[in-house]
Chains A and B, each alone.
Chain A
């Protein structure tokens, strides 16, 4: 096998179809970047679910002086009421632990969670913070009876199940992921068709050469390899651009969002690397497949 012969053929082919090559590279790059972003969102969601589901608790917010909720009727909860309520919650089945969080503690928590968002932290004061019970459940999925029992009780302004909030957020991420994957599938399809077309043009441009190669007894591999290599090289170039896009997305999208939303966990570089590897492999595989399928149709050997 004469490698430099193959490569000079590949180079000529790519240069002759420069516009098509560029189109293929761009399509593959965007398609693979979308696929990668979908996979990265997926990894992020999985990681966050593990992190959050351990920590979710039911928050029972208590009435303060200025709480506008109708169930408070404008009155703050008394110390005795607070104590009684704590005892009652403690006695409920499925409750593991009840913690009382006063305004100072709530403010400290708030500051810590939103450390990245100075404006918000500065706008709030200790008095704006509600007091609450943090109820840790034995089974975080079995929250309904407890939420229902506490909702509307005297002195309780609001009962929120953190799992609902977290799930809402995950729902949004799920939609983003599905969107990215759908775009990726469409673009991969477009890339396959474009590669098919490029190979067809290439085969037509080089019909004299391939005709002579057939005649003098060049093996099928020798005749087809330059065409397949063209596909592989455009796929690789697209993959490299996609990798750059994914790294940019990780730095400017995922890390920025993480700062605002307090994800609690960061997508590591190791998972970015594995996503990039996977998208490259898929990209090249699709290019090879598309080349082969087209060659069978347009390059009778």
Chain B
């Protein structure tokens, strides 16, 4: 599903590569934690998958497509198959829960009848039934992140990328967020989650890829956060 082959990314004006000859394979339906300290290249990895950045060398394949050969014109179609969740939720403050989720479908031109059918389903999937007409500022952090996950998942992507989704949320609420991610993963969606949160990684017992200074220092199935130390 995601295939990195010897990928190096150096940002302009920086000497040290953000990713340094990284090769990794993520299969369909896998759940992968991307761990490592700040600046170790986790976010760069996710941005490369979305083709928000281009690698300086190496090849990236996502959902069977070679990103180097994917024209800019087709990048939006790639992104429709990838859902994204961030630490800061990125909801639209002037739209309610339903509208925030529906927005993701409206802007890719889905018909209204389809939107009316699937949006309530997804809102229920993330556990926000009955809160469809709340505004984001009336929700707790955990609930806002659930809205963001609903928006990321509403178009049934093949891949869900989560960049520290529990970063702004207390540990108790984080467990609920992880349950939703697990539920999404069980529908067959590949999930890649970048995180600092050792407790979550340890409790989930999923594959762990650890980055340090842009290099992969550990790739372990059913791993925990700090075993390498």
Contacts and interface: CB of A to CB of B under 8 A. Distances in A.
A-B interaction: yes
Interface of A: 1-2, 5, 208-209, 211-220, 222-223, 301
A25 B80 CA distance: 38
B109 A222 contact: yes
Nearest to B105: A216
A208 B92 contact: yes
A222 B90 contact: no
A220 B76 CA distance: 8
Contacts of A211: 90
30 contacts: A2-B109, A5-B106, A5-B107, A208-B90, A209-B92, A212-B90, A212-B92, A212-B103, A212-B107, A213-B107, A215-B79, A215-B90, A216-B84, A216-B107, A216-B151, A216-B155, A217-B76, A217-B79, A217-B80, A217-B108, A218-B76, A218-B107, A218-B108, A219-B109, A220-B73, A220-B76, A222-B107, A222-B109, A223-B107, A301-B72
Contact of B76 (A2, A208, A209, A219): A219
Given A2-B109, A5-B107, A217 B90 contact: no
B69 interface: no
A214 B79 CA distance: 8
Contacts of B112: 2
B117 interface: no
Nearest to A218: B107
A1 B90 CA distance: 24
Interface residues of B, number: 23
Q: Which of A208, A217, A222, A223 has the most CB of B within 10 A?
A: A217
B206 to A, nearest CB: 24
Given A214-B76, A220-B76, 4 more contacts: A208-B92, A216-B79, A216-B104, A220-B73
A216 to B, nearest CB: 4
A121 to B, nearest CB: 71
Nearest to A214: B79
Contacts of B108: 216-219, 222
Interface in B60-85: 72-73, 76-82, 84
A213 B215 CA distance: 32
Nearest to A212: B90
B109 A217 contact: no
A236 B112 CA distance: 30
B79 A212 contact: no
Contacts of B50: 215
A274 B138 CA distance: 57
B63 to A, nearest CB: 12
A219 B50 CA distance: 14
A222 B80 CA distance: 14
Contacts of B76: 214, 217-220
Q: Which of B76, B78, B151 has the most CB of A within 10 A?
A: B76
A213 B90 CA distance: 11
A2 B92 CA distance: 20
A5 B107 CA distance: 8
Nearest to B111: A2
